[in-house]
Amino acid sequence: MIEEEKKARCLNAYREYMQDCRSAEAPGRIEFLGNHIDYNGGKVLGAAINGTVCTLARPRKEQTIRLFSESFENEVVETSLNDLSSRKGPGSWANYPLGVLWSLKEAGLAPPSGFELILTTDLPLAAGLSSSAAVELATALALLQLGGHELGKSDLARLCRRAENEFVGLPCGILDQGVSAYGEKDHLVLIDCEKENFSTLPLPKHTCLWIFDTGIKHDLIDSLYATRHSECAQALELLKKREPALPCLAAASEGLLTSANLPAPLSKRALHVVEETARVDRAIELLKDDVSPKKIGELLFASHASSRDLFENSCPELDFLVDDLRGRPSVLGARLTGGGFGGAVLAWTDHEFSRTEAKATATAFRKTFGNNPKIHRFEASRGARITDPLEKPNNRFPES
C-alpha cells in the first residue's frame, strides 16, 4: 500500500514537472521506388518505418535554445532564438532542428520564447533511412505545440523540406519529409512530386522490407547529390529549348530525348529519370491491380540497373548486394535506396526470407569487401505524430 502511495506521489510530481513539455515522434523512411525522381517532378513510392526520432521540448522564459541528443554527438548545442546561423564541424547535426526553427520563424510559427529540445532515436544513422527528415518532422511537431500552432501533413512536409533546402543547403525533393509525414501501417506512400499530392497504397501482403547497410557514409551535402541535381536541371533547360511548355524532366517523352540529342552525361541522367518515372507509374498500376509481387520486384531490379548505369549513383558494394540478393528465390526485388553513392540496399522479400539467408548475403559481402553490412528488418509504419510526454517511452528497436 505504501509502495502504491509512493508511486502515485512520484507520478504526480513527474506530471507537474512535465506539464509544460511537448513531445512528438517521426519515422525514417525507405525509398521503395523512384530514384532521384522527386526533385524532377515524377511520382515516388516510399514506406515510413518502425525506427523513429522522438523529441521532447520544454519552454524557457528567456530566448536561449538548448539542443541535446545522446544519439547525435552527445553534446549540448546552445544558441538563441535571435541567432539562427548554421554550423560547420562539431554541432552540425543541430542544423536540422535549427533549420526547422528558421523555417517556422519564416512562416510566423516559431515558439514565443527559448526552449530545451531533447532528441532520441532508434534509427540506424547514415544508413540512407533519412534520419534527417525524421529529426525535422519530430522537431517541427514539438515546436509547433510550444507556440500553440498546428499544421496539416503536407504543410509540415513542405516546411521541413524548406529547412533542408534553404538552411542546411541540400537541394533534396519532398520524398523523405512526405513519407515521414504520411506513413501508414502496411502501406506505401505515393507522392506526385509535381502536384505535391500525397496518398497511400497497401503494400502487398506477406512481404517484408530488409535493409542491407554497407556502412559507406554518403555525405549528401558535399557529395555528388548536388551535382546530379544540377545535371538534371541542365538537361531540363536544354529540353525546354525544344519544348518550352515542358513542366519538369520527369514529363519528357523518350521521343523528345532522342530528338534533343543531349550531351553526355546529361543524356544518361535524363534517360534514367524518364525510364524510372515510367517504372513508378507501372508499379502503381500493378499495386492497384493486386498482381504477383514478383512483377513489381522486377521493376526494383531494373531501377537499380538504371541507377548503376545511367544515373551513376551506385558503387561496387551496392551492386554486389543487389546481385547476390537477386539469386535468392524469396527476394522479390532489390535496389539501392535513397541518395546513393554508398548507403543501403533495400531487399523486398516474401515472408519466407529468413535472417539465415540475410546472413548468407552478409557473409558473401564480407568475403569480398572485408566487413559485414548491417542488416535490419522493418515494418511499413505510421507517420509523424504528436505524442503524450507522459506516455511510456517507445522501446521498439529494429533488429540488427
Contact stretch for ligand GLA (CB under 6 A) within 103-111, 168-176, 249-257, 348-356: 168-176
Residue 176 is a binding residue for ligand GLA (CB under 6 A): yes
CB of 350 to ligand GLA, least distance (A): 25
The residue from 25, 28, 30, 35 that contacts ligand GLA (CB under 6 A) is 35
- Burial call 116-134: b when 16+ CB within 10 Å, e when fewer: bbbbbbbbbebbbbbbbbb
Q: In the structure grid, which three cell numbers stand for residue 88, read together?
A: 560547420
The residue from 293, 339, 373, 383 that contacts ligand GLA (CB under 6 A) is 339
CB of 35 to ligand GLA, least distance (A): 5
Residue 36 is a binding residue for ligand GLA (CB under 6 A): yes
Q: How far apart are CA 31 and CA 279, in angstroms?
A: 14
Site for ligand GLA in 347-386 (CB under 6 A): none
User: How do beta strands 385-387 and 374-378 pair?
Assistant: unpaired
CB of 143 to ligand GLA, least distance (A): 21
CB of 66 to ligand GLA, least distance (A): 28
The residue from 98, 144, 157, 175 that contacts ligand GLA (CB under 6 A) is 175
Q: In the structure grid, which three cell numbers stand for residue 389, read together?
A: 510526454
Residue 176 known to be catalytic: yes
Cβ proximity to ligand GLA: between 31 and 231 the closer is 31
**CB of 190 within 8 A of CB of 280?**
no
Residue 38 is a binding residue for ligand GLA (CB under 6 A): yes
Q: What are phi and psi of 374, to 5 degrees?
A: -85, 140
**CB of 380 within 8 A of CB of 188?**
yes
Closest residue by beta carbon to ligand GLA:
172
Number of residues that bind ligand GLA (CB under 6 A): 12
Q: In the structure grid, which three cell numbers stand for residue 273, read together?
A: 529519370
Q: Which helix (H) or strand (E) holds 209?
A: strand 207-213
Q: What residues contact residue 260 under an 8 Å CB cut-off, 6+ apart? A: 238, 239, 242
Cβ proximity to ligand GLA: between 131 and 361 the closer is 131
For 104, 298, 378, 379, 380, the CA distances from 204, given in Å and listed in that order, are 37, 14, 15, 12, 11
Q: How far apart are CA 341 and CA 311, in angstroms?
A: 11
Catalytic residue among 20, 38, 176, 290: 176
The residue from 173, 204, 389, 398 that contacts ligand GLA (CB under 6 A) is 173
Q: How many residues does the chain have?
A: 400
Cβ proximity to ligand GLA: between 25 and 176 the closer is 176
Residues that bind ligand GLA (CB under 6 A): 31, 35-36, 38-39, 130, 172-173, 175-176, 338-339
- Catalytic residue set: 176
